[in-house]
Amino acid sequence: MNRMKTHWGRYIGAGVASIALGWAATLVPSAAAAPAGRAAQAVWAHDALYDVVGTDTNFRSPPGHSLDVLFNFGMSGLTGQRSVSESAPGDPDYNGGRWAVTPVEFTAAGKAVFDGDHDGKVDFELTNAEQVLDQAELGRLVIHPPVRYFECPLLPRHQ
């Protein structure tokens, strides 16, 4: 977790206004659009899919320590990659679903790796935050500063 928290720390107080508003409209599928609705298999965390409960709770300037990073791929340049959380229920540092929504975009190199058949959809998904950070270090992803802060609890999948 230290690597992710350090990564997040670089963006606290960053100029969010410079990011296109389009990112905010594509946060967590179904969850951000409809209050109090359960969206199935919406977010990856630690290689497991979680459902989410959408709420209409937004935060303007929450303290950084009260948030977890939610890597969002809604405007990444490819479809099919679900959001990835750095934390999940049961983690000591999980903040109950209080998110700093952090847009992620595939670079040309990333598109070549993740969309080898060039159909515009990822051929495989990233399933944990370490993978997201690793791919960014390899130059396959660009991680932007957070564009929105909101609450949307993660729920374990019912098997």
Is residue 9's pLDDT more than 50?
no
Residues of the chain above pLDDT 90, percent: 64
Kindly indicate the confidence band of residue 36, based on its pLDDT and cuts at 50, 70 and 90. low
Give the mean pLDDT of 35-60.
Answer: 86
Label residues 117-127 b or e (16+ Cβ within 10 Å = b): eeeeebeeebb
- Confidence label for 25 from pLDDT (cuts 50, 70 and 90): very low
In this prediction, residue 157 carries a pLDDT of 81
Contact 69, 85 (CB under 8 A): yes
Tens-place pLDDT, residues 133-158: 999 999 999 999 999 999 999 998 86
| Least confident span in 4-18, 79-93, 111-125 | 4-18
Give CA–CA dist 90/49, Å, rounded: 14
Axis crossing angle, helix 2-9 with helix 129-137, rounded to the nearest 10: 60
pLDDT at 3 exceeding the cut of 70 = no
Q: Is the pLDDT at 8 greater than 60, yes or no?
A: no
Distance, CA of 115 to CA of 122 (rounded, Å): 5
Side chain identity, residue 11: Y
Q: Say which residue the tokens 């405007």 belong to.
A: 75
The domains of the chain are located at 2-156
Mean of per-residue pLDDT scores for the chain: 82
CA distance 105 to 19: 12
Contacts of 123 (CB under 8 A, 6+ apart): 114, 115, 116, 117
Q: How high is the pLDDT of residue 45?
A: 97
Average pLDDT in the 98-107 region?
A: 97
